[in-house]
Structure 1
């Protein structure tokens, strides 16, 4: 794997490099040898993030959610903005950095496999700059978040075979999104996908109306009005529902305590989280978990 950046990792960002033993197993397993991740992460507003690679021995994907960055290839500079995806093949020397004034927020994946080049060809990545615009897509953000969740199983091969196929899903999804992104750019309308993607990326934190309105380039009043016209609900109410949806997922697939899940979806007060959960779901988090194993009825 190419050397990852040494950018100091703040608490709201994440970086995970797969153990070499797992990478070796993925490279030979019939369900993953075609395409598998070697490392991945999420960098939020990555001020001073920069990387120079004269030797690049794997494949690299960077998906920009917010802000700006710059990609340098053979002394040519290209601006990277929200909605852009960099797809760099093996062997392409490069440098990139976050904007000084508006640093990017990105997902990134280093990957390899004997079908990696075929995916690059399938997505018709131009050799002039290796940047494709897919727009800001909330479903794509959800797929990246699912990929990041696999880092919790450091030595579980099954989890990383699943991660390899999530990566395959992401790249095939990109092919579907490219024409849709062109339509979005042509329309120049309120970009609801951008707002929902921001919510998905920050579902483990708090997110206020000021930040959302700024992302839409509107005042808070006009942002809330426009959002409600399009969705029938308020942005904060939708964000709360996303948090509860994520909490339900964690209650389903992990053994984390209610306190841990509360913290994982951005609530420091577990009692307050439980009140919000019950308001949305009609039952408490512990009752929801018992319902999953048949120890609590679906209906009262």
Structure 2
């Protein structure tokens, strides 16, 4: 029989509203309303057709579960987490024939919606892999241990501070890319370098590394601060700088060597990246 809670050895801590209502202003930015740990939770199922008034973070430690939402239906495996924004319709629980161990927390506050967006990026309710070495499990244990001592204002504020750190670490993991995205970016840069004297479109580059243009743009923005094509342009200009520094080649010849046939366009692009024209750059370096 499906159930929401009541599992052997579970931890379930509900924070009295007066504790977070009367908390200091910095705590009100991101605070815990409920937190728990459900070990060996078989037949676990939570159904919220209208969502929840708080945001939810679930981390799967063992076993396998399922989450259903407007974003789709996904499996959640050990070593993965999922974040659910407030008032976002969803159902979740252990997979059929499976028991799972999960840490979970409900949280709210002025910064809660932003915190969710920073962690899930563009896809709410889609599970993501925890980076190796991520300390979320340890932080959850510490928060539960602190709140189990008794709900004092000091202990609560300390716990909310640790939770803020937990969310920040998940956000940082997501930005760096769980499988890091480094392999994809390295492949892209290798392709770009091999085509310095030619041209390359976003769609072509995406096909070559088997990802969507949207995903590739997001990956590059997070890792480099540039779009893929902006990064490609910067690589071209870096080569141009070396040629300006180390050779006496004409500017039009250098322009052609980096795949830009129009030297006037090359000068405009160079100035946009370097802050000076190719001629000014070369003279300044002498």
Structure 2 CA distance for aligned equivalents of residues 41 and 49 of structure 1: 14
Q: How does 1:34-45 map to 2 (within 5 A)?
A: 34-45=29-40
Give the SS at the match of 1:161: helix
Query: Is residue 104 of structure 1 aligned with residue 89 of structure 2?
Result: no
Query: Paired residue for 1:15, among 8, 12, 15?
Result: 12
1:91 corresponds to 2:78: no
Gap change, CA 1:78 and 1:141, over 3 Å in 2:
same
Displacement of 1:99 in angstroms is: 1.5
Aligned counterpart for 1:150 among listed residues 146, 153, 167: 146
1:17-38 deviation digits (Å, cap 9, x = unpaired) = 1112213223xx2220100000
Q: How far apart are the structure 1 equivalents of 2:131 and 2:61?
A: 9
- Structure 1 residue runs of 5 or longer lacking an equivalent are 187-300
Instruction: Please say if residues 17 and 40 of structure 1, whose CA atoms lie closer than 8 Å, have aligned partners that are also in contact.
Output: yes
Which of 166, 170, 174 in structure 2 is aligned with 1:174?
A: 170
Partner of 1:122: 118
Residues 124-139 of structure 1 aligned to structure 2 (within 5 Å): 124-127=120-123, 129-135=125-131, 137=133, 139=135
For 2:180 and 2:123, locate their aligned partners in 1 and report how far apart those are by CA, in whole Å: 23
Q: How many residues align?
A: 179
Aligned to 2:64: 68
Structure 1 residue 164 corresponds to structure 2 residue 148 = no
**Runs of 4+ in structure 1 displaced over 6 angstroms?**
none
Tell me the distance in 2 between the aligned counterparts of 1:151 and 1:185: 38
Question: Residue 166 and residue 75 in structure 1: after superposition, are their counterparts in 2 closer, same or farther (change >3 A)?
Answer: closer
The question of whether the paired residues in 1 share the 8 Å contact of 2:60 and 2:79 is answered with: yes
- Structure 2 unmatched ranges of 5 or more: 184-286
Instruction: Indicate yes or no: 2:43 matched with 1:48.
Output: yes
Q: What is the distance in 2 between the residues matched to 1:77 and 1:52? A: 14
Distance 1:132 1:138 in 2: 13
Aligned equivalents of 1:161, 1:109: Cα separation in 2: 15
Where does residue 220 of structure 1 map in the other structure? none
Which one has a bigger Cα radius of gyration? Answer: 2
**8 Å CA contact retained: 1:18, 1:38:** yes
Please tell me whether the aligned partners of residues 84 and 134 of structure 1 are also in contact (alpha carbons under 8 angstroms): yes
Cα offsets for 1:107-151 (capped at 9, x unmatched): 000000000111122224333643222246462211111111122
Q: Following the alignment from structure 2 to structure 1, what is the Cα–Cα distance between the partners of residues 131 and 98? A: 18
Matches within 5 A, 1:183-262: 183=180
For the residues of structure 2 that align with 1:140 and 1:80, how far apart are their CA atoms?
16
- Taking the aligned partners of 2:181 and 2:79, their CA distance within structure 1 comes to 11
Cα distance in 1 for partners of 2:182, 2:135 equals 18
**Aligned-residue CA RMSD in angstroms?**
2.4
Q: Deviations over 1:48-82 (max 9, x none)?
A: 11100123111000011111100011393111111
1:185-221 CA distance string (max 9 Å, x none)? 98xxxxxxxxxxxxxxxxxxxxxxxxxxxxxxxxxxx
